[in-house]
A = this chain, B = another copy of it.
Amino acid sequence: MDIRVDPQPEADLPADVLERARAVAAAPVSLVTGVDVALIAGGGMPVEAGNLVDYVARAANDFASQIRMEKGAERVAALRAELARRGLDGFVVPMADEYQNEFVPRHAQRLAWLSGFLGSAGAIIVLADKAAVFVDGRYTLQVRDQVDLEVFETRSYLDVPKWVGETMKTGQTLGYDPWLHTETGVKALLEACEKAGAELVAVDGNPIDAVWTDQPPRPLARIVPHDLRYTGEPAADKRARMAEAVKSAGASALALSATDSIAWLLNIRGADVARTPLALSYALLHDDASVDLFVDERKVDAALGAHLGNQVRVEPEAALALALAGFRDKPVMVDPASAPVWFVDRLEQGGATIVRKTDPIQKAKALKNPAELNGTRAAHKRDGVALAKFFCWLAANAPKGTVDELSAVERLQAFRQQGDLFRDLSFDTISGAGPNGAIVHYRSSERTNRTLALGELYLVDSGAQYLDGTTDVTRAVAIGTPSAEHRDRFTRVLRGHIALAMARFPKGTTGHQLDVLARMPLWQGGFNFNHGTGHGVGSYLGVHEGPHSISPRPSSVALEPGMIVSNEPGYYKEGDYGIRMENLVAVVPAEPGEDDSPFYELETLTLAPIDRSLIDPAMMTGPELDWLNAYHRRVRDEIGPRLDDKTRAWLEAATAPITA
């Protein structure tokens, strides 16, 4: 149903209040504090809070309802008319916004608005007579459900160059918005166009924005300081340290669009996008350790100003263009894989020299300091309490047939919200019963919701944002009695998880090297899983962060102490069930090796029982069973004392030792 905003009740409110209210509605509403009425009021006249909260809810609902598959034909037609007006033969619509962050705010969900596709990665190319949605393996099925196949063909993301080569003609022009593509991304598009003899053209102003008449505003949410007790390092020290990195790379400034880098650098957190406390902004870090922060100034209150100090100049986003143009003959560092190519264009127009280097903040941010590591350990204990309560509740209720995917999600969130320092989920919970568990990036909806049924597996992948740490955990559990096949596959996945968890490795080892450990027990049976084994995780920041990973994809980034990474092998049988076994781990120093050479190991952070009914101990080696029993003892010892009697009794049974 398409609920439109009724302007009547707000007729008495001033235009600027309504404008702020719509912008607040374009940001997610805090699970902890609700709608930020004071921000909407803007320190001006008193306003009726109830009315405002209602208005924000309706506006948010309106924004959400704009994503509609059945509008695809009409919207693509409007876009085509706009392209024709501009003399363009085609246009690339990426998933990303200017910040290349995985959670994209409402106004920048252009791909979803155009097509209805709600995956987290992909691209659309619209030509005069053809349009295609390109997605990766995770979304092959989902995309066909979510877009109008009369309007779009669906293709593999890898086919972009081939498709461009086949469909575009010599001399044709393909437009792209230089704000929404990195230089690395544009290079790939350029190659594809060159092969087709087509020309790739940067547009001035996104043509979708021109036809999206009720496009939501940019989100408005207050930016807050992130306390030193959680960050462990004052922002001034971080600025000085990173300014040294900029200088030693031969640059006089670093141009930043990565909002997680900015959040870490300045010890600030925002609320502009879902599930990650980011503030949409740009920044220039100068070699004198001062920063220009380009941001909607309504988000910055006095407390934040005091926190930032006089070495951080807050400026409106519109001032960025002029600032980038002011580096004539100076070297400016840009990460070609994360900054919009618009940065590079603008800097070059201004006569700056581009120093192309990986953003040094990404690695610095990945190396958690002791305060951050202790914070995440504490957060994982609180998360473990919520998980124990949830799985205890699930064990009692699911076999009765009274639990479905959506009610499970609600219950799990409720348990988490009881924990101290909880701010939000870290991503939308994946709650997949039976065959839905086999969809790797499944999100339950009313349409797909399933009751958890006896004899089936249930997969739940979830996480939370606490002020002191970000969590991410997956468990597969059997509802009732699992089959022999369930146990075989689960035990293989678990053995892979344990092989990685037990790894000890010398300095310099990459996650790419370790990846095979998590796969070999599956490979031995002719099975595999079609995703990485581990992604980096932030400290009250992104639940997916770089630069490290554990993956079959080549990477030269070594795992270093302080990095947090997930350990999540899985197995998926389409149309039947899904298994994933995910704990977060931290890279920590191990006992040094021979000649005192540095060795590292993985400290498991996540504390939640592993379903014993899914384990076949006969398939496991002695050291694997030892690991499992020691892990369960740890869960019992650390989480048990924080539980009520009933839940503790359940946990003790759920973590009892297993022998071969």
* A-to-B contact residues, CB < 8 Å: 502-506, 509, 512-517, 520, 523-528, 552, 554, 556, 590-594, 597, 599, 621-623
Contact = CB atoms under 8 A, between A and B. Distances in A.
Contacts of A552: 509, 513
Nearest to A515: B513
15 contacts: A504-B520, A504-B526, A506-B523, A506-B528, A512-B554, A513-B516, A516-B517, A517-B517, A517-B520, A523-B593, A526-B591, A526-B592, A526-B594, A528-B597, A621-B622
A593 B528 CA distance: 9
A124 to B, nearest CB: 29
Tallying the copies of this chain within the complex gives 2
Given A520-B503, A556-B554, A621-B622, A599 B513 contact: no
Nearest to A513: B516
A322 to B, nearest CB: 36
Nearest to A514: B516
Nearest to A591: B526
A621 B524 CA distance: 16
A591 B525 CA distance: 9
Contacts of A523: 503-506, 593, 599
Contacts of A528: 506, 593-594, 597
A527 B593 contact: yes
Given A514-B516, A516-B517, A621-B622, A524 B504 contact: yes
A545 B591 CA distance: 37
Pick the 6 closest A-B CB pairs, nearest first: A526-B593, A621-B621, A513-B516, A504-B523, A504-B524, A505-B523
A652 B599 CA distance: 41
A486 to B, nearest CB: 15
A420 B507 CA distance: 48
Contacts of A527: 593-594
A643 B512 CA distance: 46
A559 to B, nearest CB: 12
Contacts of A623: 621
A513 B594 CA distance: 24
Contacts of A520: 503-505, 517
A506 B514 CA distance: 16
Nearest to A593: B526
Q: By CB atoms of chain B within 10 A, which of A512, A517, A528 has the most?
A: A528
A54 to B, nearest CB: 52
A165 to B, nearest CB: 16
Contact of A516 (B516, B556, B599): B516
A478 to B, nearest CB: 21
Given A526-B590, A526-B591, 17 more contacts: A503-B523, A504-B524, A509-B516, A509-B552, A513-B513, A513-B552, A514-B516, A516-B516, A523-B593, A525-B593, A526-B593, A527-B593, A527-B594, A528-B593, A554-B554, A621-B621, A621-B622
Contacts of A621: 621-623
Nearest to A600: B523
A366 to B, nearest CB: 20
Nearest to A590: B526
Contacts of A513: 512-513, 515-516, 552
Contacts of A526: 504, 590-594, 597, 599
Nearest to A505: B523
A512 B513 CA distance: 7
A512 B552 CA distance: 10
Contacts of A593: 523, 525-528
A404 to B, nearest CB: 29
A504 B528 CA distance: 11
A552 B594 CA distance: 19
A520 B517 CA distance: 9
Contacts of A512: 512-513, 554
A525 B591 CA distance: 9
Contacts of A503: 520, 523
Contacts of A525: 593
Contacts of A517: 516-517, 520
Contacts of A509: 516, 552
Nearest to A503: B520
A556 B590 CA distance: 30
A528 B504 CA distance: 11
A626 to B, nearest CB: 12
A505 B502 CA distance: 21
A373 B503 CA distance: 36
A500 B66 CA distance: 54
A205 to B, nearest CB: 40
A594 B574 CA distance: 12
A330 B526 CA distance: 47
A155 to B, nearest CB: 21
A534 to B, nearest CB: 14
Nearest to A517: B516
A622 B625 CA distance: 14
A107 to B, nearest CB: 40
A552 to B, nearest CB: 7
Contacts of A524: 502, 504
A526 B600 CA distance: 10
Nearest to A524: B504
A501 to B, nearest CB: 12
Nearest to A592: B526
Contacts of A556: 554
Contacts of A514: 516
Contacts of A592: 526
A512 B514 CA distance: 10
A517 B503 CA distance: 11
A506 B516 CA distance: 11
A337 to B, nearest CB: 18
A528 B514 CA distance: 15
